[in-house]
Amino acid sequence: MENISSKIAKNNSKAEAPITANKNENPYEIVKELIKESVEALRLSQGVYSILEKPARVMEVSIPVKMDDGQIRNFTGYRSQHIDILGPTKGGIRFHPKVDLDEVKALSIWMSLKSAILGLPFGGGKGGVIVDPTQLSECELENLSRSYIRALIPIIGPEKDIPAPDVNTNPQVMGWMLDEFDRLRGYNVPGFITGKPIIIGGSQGRIEATGRGVVITIVQAAKRLNIDLKNAKAAIQGFGNVGSMTAKFLHELGVKIIGISDASGGIYSQNGIDVPELIKYVNNTKAVMNFPGTTRIDNDELFSLPVDILVPAALENQITERTAPMIQAKIVAEAANGPTTPAGDQILDEKGVFIIPDILCNSGGVTVSYFEWVQNTMGFYWKEKDVNEKLEEKMIYAFDDVFRMTVEKDIDMRKASYMVGVGRIAEALKARGWVKDWSMPINCKA
Ligand SMILES: NC(=O)C1=CN([C@@H]2O[C@H](COP(=O)(O)OP(=O)(O)OC[C@H]3O[C@@H](n4cnc5c(N)ncnc54)[C@H](O)[C@@H]3O)[C@@H](O)[C@H]2O)C=CC1
Ligand SMILES: O=C(O)CCC(=O)C(=O)O
């Protein structure tokens, strides 16, 4: 019988698997291919592809940090700014040992597409630092966050590029980063960063926004597929910000969540996991493992569960040629960025699984970040109810736009979402005179 520590070590080693293992799993290669396909399907010029295939600006920075023992460690970080023709670039900052440049580039392109699909006045940006934050003290983490902002100062700002949280960064990290930016500028600039604590200009509802948006898209998909959510079951991979909030809102709708995993491993309960209690438990223990009333499962078992809805809410490349055949769900809601490889995608498609693609599914986060930036600019703050209503309206419009494209062109949701996103960016390229030979009009309803 396997003991607890060897099983945790095994699960952690899965979490540590290289993200860009081979060309077919390199997120930058994957996103370029999808953009190419949609440029062709929209009959746009090669010029559109050449502009969109690479970020306009990528910065690599070294980030010296004074550690608690007095030594200096020099970390490596990146910021990729894809395209800014719809507005300043915008997107999160990730702290993870497996961050690499191609991953950050892909994440910035996905941000451009999300904003275009949601009709937000932003381009895509993304940042990452190669670091395992669990190995840092709180003081070292603060020094790292501040040093990263000092390194990026020439290219960031509320009208240039606006960061936000992503994997392993949170409102506290945003608060330190805002404070560093303000010190360098010499005055308060709350619109420089979003996802910050409410007391210093954060928006009501931003912590919940990505998960809330994921659930709004699941509700829309369930309506189209005639799935009664009150009798539905779900499994969720990842129980950080996005996974836990998705679980909370699905639970509130009456969906029975029978499996949840995080980097420590997975838990299962045939009768449904008590999500509010699990959130409290994880706040204390930092991991889902050993939650009372559950049995332990691994990631493969989680993917194999007999559920209606599967939500990958962790990292890239989880649904692959190997894991896709195990999936029994009718809906895969991509809360994570890039959780499905092209081979995994094809297998799910052949099985008739309805995929809500990442650039639509998880766009609730950047949408409420947009609301936060608007509130910071106005200096007038909205009630949570207003934020949530505006979010729901935008997400439903965006879902409808993508679904309409799926039906009209007889294509899957991923291709449709890329066509909507690429089409709108191409429309802006034409409006600015960057490209001339353009044929297909895309209406921006979102
Ligand atoms: N935070 C946000 O507002 C947004 C996040 N996303 C995406 O959602 C995903 C999750 O992000 P957050 O929840 O913010 O990060 P987080 O750092 O709060 O949580 C990540 C979760 O994934 C788990 N995890 C890591 N490796 C795993 C593995 N191999 N198996 C199972 N679980 C694993 C971690 O233990 C943790 O529970 C990422 O892909 C991120 O880019 C997308 C849109 C917005
Ligand atoms: O809130 C934001 O601006 C960006 C969130 C993000 O990083 C993402 O959608 O992947």
Counting from 1 in the atom list of ligand 2, the atom nearest the Cα of 107 is 10
Q: Residues 215, 304: contact at Cβ < 8 Å?
A: no
CA distance 6 to 78: 34
Q: Residues 264, 8: contact at Cβ < 8 Å?
A: yes
Told to judge if 430 belongs to the known catalytic residues of this protein, a careful annotator would answer no
Please tell me the total number of residues recorded for the chain in this structure. Answer: 446
pLDDT band at 179 (very low <50, low <70, confident <90, very high): very high
pLDDT value, residue 196: 98
Torsion of CA 6, 132, 175, 371, to 10 degrees: -80
pLDDT value, residue 23: 59
Q: Is 231 exposed, middle or buried (0-12, 13-18, 19+ CB in 10 A)?
A: exposed
Counting from 1 in the atom list of ligand 1, the atom nearest the Cα of 338 is 39
Q: Whose CA is nearest to atom 4 of ligand 2?
A: 91
- Of 13 and 390, more confident: 390
Q: Whose CA is nearest to atom 1 of ligand 2?
A: 366
158 CA from centroid of ligand 2 (Å):
15
pLDDT band at 22 (very low <50, low <70, confident <90, very high): low
The number of the ligand nearest the C-alpha atom of 237 reads 1
pLDDT band at 439 (very low <50, low <70, confident <90, very high): low
pLDDT value, residue 30: 97
90 CA from centroid of ligand 2 (Å):
7
Q: Which helix (H) or strand (E) holds 428?
A: helix 413-431
Residue 340 DSSP one-character state: B
DSSP letter string, 226-282: T--GGG-EEEEE--SHHHHHHHHHHHHTT-EEEEEEETTEEEE-TT---HHHHHHHH
Q: Whose CA is nearest to atom 2 of ligand 2?
A: 366
The phi-psi region of residue 67 (left if phi > 0; otherwise alpha if psi is between -120 and 50; otherwise beta) is beta
Long-range contacts, 174-177 (Cβ 8 Å, 24+) = 174/202, 175/200, 176/142, 176/145, 176/146, 177/93, 177/145, 177/146, 177/148, 177/149
pLDDT value, residue 442: 45
Mutate to test the pocket of ligand 1, among 167, 173, 203, 249 (most ligand atoms within 8 A of CB): 167
The number of the ligand nearest the C-alpha atom of 196 reads 2
Counting from 1 in the atom list of ligand 2, the atom nearest the Cα of 92 is 7
SS3 category, 220: helix
375-384: per-residue pLDDT in tens? 999 999 999 9
Of 390, 396, 81, 445, residue with least CA distance to 206: 390
* Tokens of residue 372, six digits: 């936060």
Of 239, 305, 252, 223, residue with least CA distance to 278: 239
Instruction: Match 């020094």 to its residue by tokens.
Output: 143
Mutate to test the pocket of ligand 2, among 210, 361, 417 (most ligand atoms within 8 A of CB): 210
Mutate to test the pocket of ligand 1, among 129, 166, 360 (most ligand atoms within 8 A of CB): 166
- pLDDT > 70 in the chain, percent: 93
- Which residues, listed in sequence order, are joined to residue 354 by a DSSP beta bridge? 331
42 CA from centroid of ligand 1 (Å):
33
